[in-house]
Amino acid sequence: MSSIKTFKPKSEEECASIILEGSGFEILGGGTRAIGKLDGIECNILSTSAMSGIIDYEPAEMVMIAKAGTPIADIEKALAKGKQRMIFEPLDYRTLLGTKGKPTIGGLIASNASGPRRFVAGACRDSFLGARFVNGKGDAIKAGGRVMKNVTGLDLIKLLAGSWGTLALMTEVTFKVVPQVETEATLVLHGLSNEKAAQAMAAAMATSCEVTGAAHLPENIAAGFKDVAGKSATLLRLEGFENSVKIRIEKLQTILSAFGEQSVLNNKQTTAVWADVRDVKPFSSSKDKPVWRASVAPMAGHHLVSELGAENAFFDWQGGLVWLQMDEAPEADKVRSAIAKLGGGHATLIRATDEQRQSAQVFQPENAAVTVISKRIREQFDPMGKYYTGRMG
């Protein structure tokens, strides 16, 4: 019989009590992003699902405070009423991983999940202003606030973003939001090779057209997108007021005319295609195949795919984010060696079987200096090792 217990505290005080009395906790929000957990590990579940609700939101202040277990759907519904949004365009792993449940704001921040707009608007952590959290000693701590401040030394808030629940349990989060745009459109360049697409995206980013999305779908990937199927598709998104978007699209078309065939996606088509890019929909049907999320220099992305001989890959963030679907094994050493050869970066194994996770480190291995710093940070947050570190290393 399993000795694993699931705790669903309803308050910060209850969280502190549970942490003080127990050990070996895996923090869980909606259970949609657990990419580092190994099945078979005896680890109690500490869920934030019972701590849900928006605490404070005034659209005029462009700041929201919510309990960590609040579903993203509730956050976005409230923001829509205020005609606002989260600028970093959070991705939803359910399509790729086949997970159920509801993504939560705490899980979103803990995983630093950032979508296509990240390369121009910043990551999730850049919108993260403050939090209340319980550390491994059971202390309830408040850090940050309602405004962005300059910080000398380690910023506790930034450390929590992307820590995957290995440092502390967030109970409440504060983050900034931005106004919605009036409309959006996408210029599509058809039939470009991966290398030519990288050149086109770089040329687009060098203009004053304010591109907020730059992705490339090779022909086999584009085939799954009804509005761009037929040839490879290089996607360049513009957002803003309708007249401004129209003028900037026309300007971008002229500047990039040498790259060949073009078309333009309207507002509805743009919303749909970028949601599919964001949520990695092209790889959603082959749940048994490993998927890597590799981050490299923008002009190195196509070289990485070529070096690996990868047949199933596409590019976001102007080519700097490469989504790779492997045929069989993750081949972690091969992927990370290729990245190192191209000047560095990092790769995270987002989807894999339990057996594959046993042999391939999910997160990018840290160098010796970073390992020392990480160890010291964890010792300060969690000196008694209350929180499960999984495949963080």
Tell me which of 227 and 359 has the higher pLDDT.
227
At the topology level, CATH places domain 54-179 in 3.30.465
Tell me whether domains 183-278 and 281-359 share a fold: yes
Q: In the prediction, which pLDDT does 286 show?
A: 85
Looking at residue 366, what is its pLDDT? 86
Task: Give the pLDDT score at 1.
Answer: 41
Give residue-wise pLDDT tens across range 20-45.
888 788 898 988 887 765 555 678 88
CATH number 2.60.40.10 is the correct assignment for the domain at 183-278: no
Secondary structure (3-state) at 140: strand
pTM of the predicted protein model? 0.92
pLDDT of residue 356: 87
Angle subtended by helix axes 194-205 and 301-308, to nearest 10: 170
CATH topology of domain 281-359: Alpha-Beta Plaits (3.30.70)
State residue 218's pLDDT score: 98
Q: Are 59 and 83 in contact (CB under 8 A)?
A: yes
DSSP 3-state of 237: strand
DSSP string, 279-337: TTGGGSS-TTS-EEEEE--GGGHHHHHHHHT-SSEEEEGGGTEEEEE-SSS--HHHHHH
Nearest to 174 by CA among 160, 153, 190: 160
Find the radius of gyration of the CA atoms of the chain: 21
Q: What is the mean pLDDT of residues 320-347?
A: 95
Res. 367: pLDDT tops 70: yes
Q: Is the pLDDT of residue 145 over 50?
A: yes
Give pLDDT, residue 36. Answer: 63
| Model pLDDT, residue 219 | 97
Structure tokens at 156: 């506790």
- Predicted confidence at residue 288, as pLDDT, reads 87
Mean pLDDT of all residues belonging to the chain: 91
Here the tokens at position 349 are 């194994």
Grade residue 151 by pLDDT with cuts at 50, 70 and 90: low
Instruction: Decide if pLDDT at 146 tops 70.
Output: no
Helix (H, G, I), strand (E, B) or coil at 364: coil
User: pLDDT tens digits, residue range 238-258?
Assistant: 999 999 999 999 999 999 999
Is 379 a residue whose pLDDT tops 60? yes
Question: What residue spans define the domains of the chain?
Answer: 54-179, 183-278, 281-359
Mean pLDDT of 221-227: 94
Spatial CA neighbour of 174 closest among 48, 10, 54: 54
pLDDT at 66: 97
Pairwise pLDDT comparison (261 vs 101), residue with the higher score: 261
- Is pLDDT above 50 for 350? yes
Judged against a pLDDT cut of 60, whether residue 91 lies above it is answered with yes
Q: Give residue 238's pLDDT.
A: 98
83-92, 305-314, 352-361: the lowest-pLDDT one? 352-361
Out of 232-236, 251-255, 263-267, 351-355, pick the least confident. Answer: 351-355
pLDDT tens-place string over residues 163-210: 988 899 999 999 999 999 999 999 999 999 999 999 999 999 999 999
Find the DSSP H helices in the chain: 12-21, 72-81, 94-97, 105-110, 118-121, 156-160, 194-205, 219-222, 242-255, 267-278, 301-308, 332-341, 354-359, 368-381
